[in-house]
Amino acid sequence: MTSDVGVYPSIGILQNESAFRTTEDNFSSRLAQYEKIDKIGEGSYGTVYKAWDRTMQRFVALKVITWSSQEEGIPNTAVREVSLLREVAHPNVVQLIEAIPQGVKLTLVFEFLEKDLHKLCESRITPIIGAKLKKIMFQLLVGLHACHCRRIVHRDIKPQNILSNKDETVFKLADFGLGRAFCVADQTYTYEVMTLYYRAPEILLGETRYHSSVDMWSMGCVMAEMALRRPLFSGETAIVHFIKICKIMGTPNEQTWPGIELLPHYNAQLPQWQGVDLAAAVPTLDEQGIDLLRQFFVYSPEHRITAYQALQHGWFDEVREECESELQPQLFQRYNERVL
């Protein structure tokens, strides 16, 4: 990974020693700074509200997470993870402004963005293709690269966790690292089975160590979904979902995916599907787009494309200059550059 680091100078990291403030702070008064306006969503971890930040005179999103364990309160593991996230500041990652613990409740304060990619796709009658698709993917990969460099894996990239501004020019990844923050904490998710559509095949087969390559698979799913206006792989259970992937990408084996036979849910009895022509499955992408997509969908996590490598792909050449010129001034004005 080291050779991948730092070349896209879009890695703006703010180092903040006091990431998670101590209990000496007055949590109630900090909460009072935010005036709840509307409930905007319900996710795996908690409820999201739009709120007005009276001090800074801006809108924010409050994510309120409640723990079921009355005695123990918020687990230290979650507190530590959230502290780490506060240190990541990047124009393509939704900023966690602060985290306010109160008993069994934790309020995460995020910068507010007007749209999410799921609703945005639903509101359109045509797929997202061409330069617009390239610009969105480029921005998300730059944000992803910045986090992967910090060894932070998202683990749940999906259209609902991709937010944009009103005019759809800036796209950001939301909920970075929350999967880890709240999984290790042994939190039972509030409700709803998490969607499998964007899940990497190694996770479906029972791999429990999450490497950054899981996010790259998800990025492929998101790219295909924008181009198709519907998910490319869409199984409701892990096995059905895995079979759907096999039917399109071909059934993996020890040759195409060294180590697959060691995974807990590997089943040698699965039919050997050959897969289909990806260009026919996603006809709205050109040859280069299909080439990139194929590299997101490499079965072997070790051989799957990284965010940095994806950013070098020729498919982005058409928008590269524009994207880079938009990114640089923003970075130099707002962020402390830190050489990794």
Question: Which one of 19, 34, 43, 246 is in contact with Mg ion (CB under 5 A)?
Answer: 43
Nearest distance, CB of residue 155 and ligand ATP, angstroms: 10
| Closer residue to Mg ion, CB minimum distance, 221 or 278 | 221
Residue 26, C-beta contacts closer than 8 angstroms, at least 6 positions apart: none
What is the DSSP secondary structure assignment for residue 13, as one 8-state letter? B
| Closer residue to Mg ion, CB minimum distance, 174 or 290 | 174
One-letter amino acid identity for 155? R
For residue 94, the partner it binds in Mg ion, ligand ATP, none, with Cβ less than 5 to 8 A by kind, is ligand ATP
Catalytic residue among 4, 25, 116, 156: 156
Residue 56, C-beta contacts closer than 8 angstroms, at least 6 positions apart: none
Report how far residue 54's alpha carbon sits from residue 64's, in angstroms, rounded to the nearest whole number.
19
CA–CA distance from 101 to each of 26, 55, 195, 225 (Å)? 10, 19, 28, 37
Nearest distance, CB of residue 270 and Mg ion, angstroms: 32
Q: Residues interacting with ligand ATP, by CB under 6 A?
A: 40-41, 43-45, 48, 61, 63, 94, 110, 112-113, 116, 156, 160-161, 163, 174-175
Report how far residue 71's alpha carbon sits from residue 320's, in angstroms, rounded to the nearest whole number.
52
* 247 known member of a binding site: no
Catalytic status, residue 53: no
306 binds Mg ion (CB under 5 A): no
Report how far residue 16's alpha carbon sits from residue 12's, in angstroms, rounded to the nearest whole number.
13
Cβ-contact 115, 45 below 8 angstroms:
no
Nearest distance, CB of residue 43 and Mg ion, angstroms: 5
What is the DSSP secondary structure assignment for residue 59, as one 8-state letter? E
161 binds Mg ion (CB under 5 A): yes
Cβ-contact 181, 78 below 8 angstroms:
yes
One-letter amino acid identity for 247? K
Nearest distance, CB of residue 108 and ligand ATP, angstroms: 9
Enumerate long-range contacts of 94-98, CB under 8 Å, 24 or more apart: 94/163, 94/172, 94/173, 94/174, 94/175, 94/176, 97/60, 98/21, 98/30
One-letter amino acid identity for 124? R
Report how far residue 279's alpha carbon sits from residue 273's, in angstroms, rounded to the nearest whole number.
17
| Closer residue to ligand ATP, CB minimum distance, 135 or 199 | 199
When computed from its CA atoms, the radius of gyration of the chain, rounded to whole angstroms, is: 20
| Closer residue to Mg ion, CB minimum distance, 12 or 43 | 43
172-211 binders of Mg ion (CB under 5 A) = 175
For residue 113, the partner it binds in ligand ATP, Mg ion, none, with Cβ less than 5 to 8 A by kind, is ligand ATP
Q: Phi first, then psi: what are they for 163, rounded to 5°?
A: -115, 155
What is the DSSP secondary structure assignment for residue 175, as one 8-state letter? S
| Closer residue to Mg ion, CB minimum distance, 47 or 300 | 47
For residue 306, the partner it binds in Mg ion, ligand ATP, none, with Cβ less than 5 to 8 A by kind, is none
Residue number with the smallest Cβ distance to ligand ATP: 43
For residue 185, the partner it binds in ligand ATP, Mg ion, none, with Cβ less than 5 to 8 A by kind, is none
For residue 61, the partner it binds in ligand ATP, Mg ion, none, with Cβ less than 5 to 8 A by kind, is ligand ATP
**Contacting positions for Mg ion (CB under 5 A):** 43, 161, 175
Q: List active site positions.
A: 156
* Annotated binding-site residue numbers for ATP: 63
